[in-house]
Each structure stands twice: as C-alpha cells, then as structure tokens.
Amino acid sequence: MYRHNVWTLWGITTLVMLLILAACGGAPAANAPETDAPAAEETAPAEEEATAEEATTEEATPAEDEATTEDETATTATAEEGTAGAVVDASLSGELVLYTTRSEALINGVLEAFNEQYPNITVTSVNGSNSELGARILEEQANPQANVFINSDTLTMEDLYASGVFQPNESELILAVPEQYRADDGSWTALTLRGRVLMYNTDLLSEDEVPTSLTALADPEWSDRIGSADSTNGAMVATIVALNRLLDEETTAGWIQGLVDNNTLFSGSHTDIRQAVGTGEIELGLVNHYYYFLSLEEGAPVGIVWPDQGDDEIGLIVNSTNIGILQGTEGETLELAQAFVDFMLDTTGQTIYAQGNFEWPVKADIPLADGVPNPDDFTIADINLKTLVDDAPTAREQIQTVGMP
C-alpha cells in the first residue's frame, strides 16, 4: 500500500514535470532566431522576397560582423600607417554609373564582390579607352553622366584633375595612400601599381642575353628585335617623362631616336607586343609587368627582366591604375560612390582587383597573386607619379621631333 502510493505520487510528480518542461520548451524557439531563421529562409522564399527590407536589415548584422572582423584585421596590419578599414553599411541602395578603361572580366569580378557586401547597389559599367572616356567626361562636364572613373593612365587622370572633374575626398583610406600616388586633395588615387619590364622569348634568348637596363634598347644590336607601345599609349609617354627626370632630356631624346632607328615594332596596344614576343615575331618587348604573367599563364615561352636594379641605375619605373569620384555626384548617390571607392581601397577590393591582373595593390599587406614578387624586392625609380603630367608636353615634343609613331 505504501509502495503503491509512492509510485502514484511519483507518477503525478513526473507528469507535472513533463508538463512544465513542455511549456518551457517552446520559449527558446521564440527567442532564438539564429536557430529557426535558416529553416524559414529555405522553406519560405516567397515570404523572404515579400519582406526583403526586413530581411536585409536582419541579415546585414552577421555580414557587418564579418566585415568588421576583416576590417579590424586590415587596420591592425596597417596600424603603423594609421589607416582604418571601410565601414560597410549593407542597407545602402541605389544606382551608380562607372566609367572604366579596365577589361570587363576584371571589373566584373570586382563588381560581384562589391555586390556581396552591398546587395542593393546596382553598378552599371561603361568601358572604353583612356582617351575615349577622358574626352567623354570632359564633354559631359556640364551634365555628368557617370559617378566614378577607374582608369589605367596617370597622365589622363591628372589632365582630368586639372580640368576640375573630380571631387575632393578626405576618406581615411585615400589619405593613407602614399602622397606620390594620389592627388593632394584626395580627389583621385592610385589603386594598383605596375612595373615597366623587359619580357623576352625564352626560345630565342637566354636570360643573360637580355639587357638589364631600358637604355640598352637603343643600342644598334637590338635592331629589328624589339617591340614597344607607341606614342598613343599613356604608359609609354609616362615612361619618357620619367626618363627625362631620371636621366636628362638630351639622353632621353637620344633613347627615343635609338628606338626608331632600331626599327622597333610599335603598337598602340601592349597586348600586341606581348603576343609578338610569345610567338617569336620579336625577341624582346617593353611592357608592364602583368603582361608577362598573363602570357606565362597562357603557356607562352616567356621570361622577364626587372630592369635598372644596379647601384648606379635609375630603378624600376612604375605607373598606376586610378579611381576618382566625378563632380555632379551628390546626395545619396555620393554616399554610394564613396562606399565603392572605399571598397576598392580596402582589403577585399584591393585583393580581388590586384590579383585579377597580377598587379601590385597600393594598400600595404595585401596578398599578391601567385608568382608575383613583392615590389619591396626592387629599387623603385624616384619619381612622383602625380606630377608627371607637368612634363608631358616636353615628352610629346620629343616624340614628335624624332618621329616616333
């Protein structure tokens, strides 16, 4: 009897406890969206679309946390330079128009990554050459049709800057860029750097046969054997401006004359030159360093020499790709444009953009593409890229006098 009552009491107690646990078991589900949210997203896509604004706000928190972590890492890595990572506001929405001289494949990769951070910003890119888009921006100056410009020619960037097409910019990420690679007021800045190198066909030349200085290209022994971009190419004109500063105008004029006398294969496109080297049409070409890596990736028999690295030599001449926000970009659109510029200068944008074309990111401590050496391994020529445009008229006069194509 006593034992029966004990078990009865135990049964009643157990039943009560189970009822209490059942009642309590539902509470955490109501207060734990982290657990239930994925299932809701998988099973109710229509509802997610219907409440897109709410979903964006709620789901932005983890993305912002990840971005903050990444940015904090970047900030730590460059703390000595006083830079800060970009603050990502995934709720930003609207449209941007980007004018760019870079390849669609490269830009599309960047835009995809940008849209992962800013899913509600639509960027329309318009591609063209430096001269085409530069002229278009000037023509549209009274009624701008673009918000951001990315190009690959410092001289064009500075010409446009002098015409007042860019907005001053005090972004911490821009001001962290070394002064020689950006406008004083931050209205444009370099994104990546590229070295001027000698690419050669390894079936035709051994490394010890390749000259180690740009000046050697004017020697008669290289007649009918070399190629270079012509005078319509901004990188080539900038190289001549740099040589005027690093050597002197007389020596540089003689160098240009030597290229012409050597029957150099001139082309408006570095792509033509790298392909001519790869096929053996010429033995050697003066190109930006990434063209070597592009040819190598394609399986071409090519090698590279990083010129002028001796104690008494001028160092490696570099040029840059650049970005700036155009005048006429105002209000909310200006906020979107700034988010895009900051993205391009922060860790994710710099990594994708630089690695995508084997270039050197302007931001410190960004991982390089496989095989690309660190620019710190070289002696870089002592030139101020943002002031090269001041001496461009002299270079163009030399080109015209000599008759370089």
3-class DSSP string for 126-157: EECCHHHHHHHHHHCCCCCCCCEEEECCHHHH
Say whether pLDDT at 60 is over 80.
Answer: no
Identify whether residues 178 and 100 lie together within a single domain: yes
Tell me if the pTM is above 0.85.
Answer: no
Mean pLDDT of 380-396: 97
90, 157, 191, 201, 322 from 61: Cα distances, Å: 9, 38, 29, 53, 32
Greater pLDDT, 93 or 30: 93
**Residue 158: what pLDDT?**
97
Mean pLDDT of 40-54: 30
Instruction: Report the percent of the chain where pLDDT is more than 90.
Output: 78
Mark out the alpha helices in 145-269 (DSSP H runs): 154-162, 172-175, 234-246, 249-261
End-to-end CA distance of the chain: 115
Q: How confident is the model at residue 241 (pLDDT cuts 50, 70, 90)?
A: very high
In a domain, 59, yes or no: no
Rounded Cα gap, residues 151 and 194, in angstroms: 13
Greater pLDDT, 195 or 21: 195
Identify whether residues 167 and 253 lie together within a single domain: no
Rounded Cα gap, residues 136 and 14, in angstroms: 82
Rounded Cα gap, residues 295 and 22, in angstroms: 68
In a domain, 12, yes or no: no
| Beta-bridge partners for 126 | 99
In a domain, 41, yes or no: no
**Residue 85: what pLDDT?**
65
Q: What is the domain count for the chain?
A: 2
Q: How confident is the model at residue 163 (pLDDT cuts 50, 70, 90)?
A: very high
Report residue 104: phi and psi, to 5°: -60, -40
**Residue 342: what pLDDT?**
98
In a domain, 19, yes or no: no
Q: What residue type is 222 in one-letter code?
A: W
Identify whether residues 295 and 146 lie together within a single domain: no
Residue whose tokens read 């940008």: 114
152, 227, 249, 251 from 234: Cα distances, Å: 8, 16, 19, 21
Greater pLDDT, 275 or 80: 275
Identify whether residues 208 and 188 lie together within a single domain: no
CATH of the domain at 84: 3.40.190.10
Mark out the alpha helices in 308-378 (DSSP H runs): 331-345, 347-355
Give the angle 91-347-338 at the CA atoms, nearest 5°: 45
Say whether pLDDT at 281 is over 70.
Answer: yes
CB 78 within 8 A of CB 363: yes
Say whether pLDDT at 147 is over 70.
Answer: yes
Mean pLDDT of 153-178: 97
Q: Is the torsion defined by CA of 55, 61, 62, 66 positive or negative? A: positive
Structural domain of residue 337, as residue ranges?
79-193+319-369
Identify whether residues 217 and 279 lie together within a single domain: yes
Identify whether residues 295 and 391 lie together within a single domain: yes
Task: Take residue 114 and report the two structure tokens written for it.
Answer: 């940008």
